[in-house]
Amino acid sequence: WNIMANIGTFTKKSFGKIDYRYPSHIRFEKISPDSSTFVSNPEKSWYYVPPFVKGEKGEVTIQESNKLVLTKFLDALKNGLENNKLFTHKYNKNELILTFTKAIQKDMNLKQAVLVTESDPKKIKKLKEFERLVLTYNDGRKVNLKFVDLKEDVSFPQKHFVFDIPSNTKVSEGK
């Protein structure tokens, strides 16, 4: 994935990989500009930053899992891209626009999600047929996820969503 978050007057770009399994299992591995790993399952989450210099300690923060906006969004797609109790949809040229209900906007802090394609979005049946996803938060902030190699129906072992803490790592408990 290629994530680009517009924050205020500047753009921050990151490159990495996202693995997801329903319900509420996610693993982000950010490769650059700085590497880090975030793993979450319905019970627990881990945020790991490796050492900057080999031989120093890395750091991991462990906390109870909170449903993340991206996880909630992906969970919401379980029943398809049509109108449902979480969002309504409409088409605009090469976009499928999902607008969340007021209750979901409040809960997720997410106003809408726009799936973009170069083809006709009305003919798309699978998420992997879209090229990117733009999430718009209630405060107007946007996160642009570009799909470089999206695969669906991937099987992950249960341990994939549990972080194995490397030796020589400082462990903190989050709130």
Summarize the confidence of residues 38-62 as an average pLDDT: 93
Nearest to 59 by CA among 31, 33, 35: 35
pLDDT over 70 percentage in the chain? 93
Whole-prediction pTM value? 0.79
Summarize the confidence of residues 11-23 as an average pLDDT: 85
Q: Which residue has the higher pLDDT, 12 or 38?
A: 38
The pLDDT value recorded for residue 39 is 95
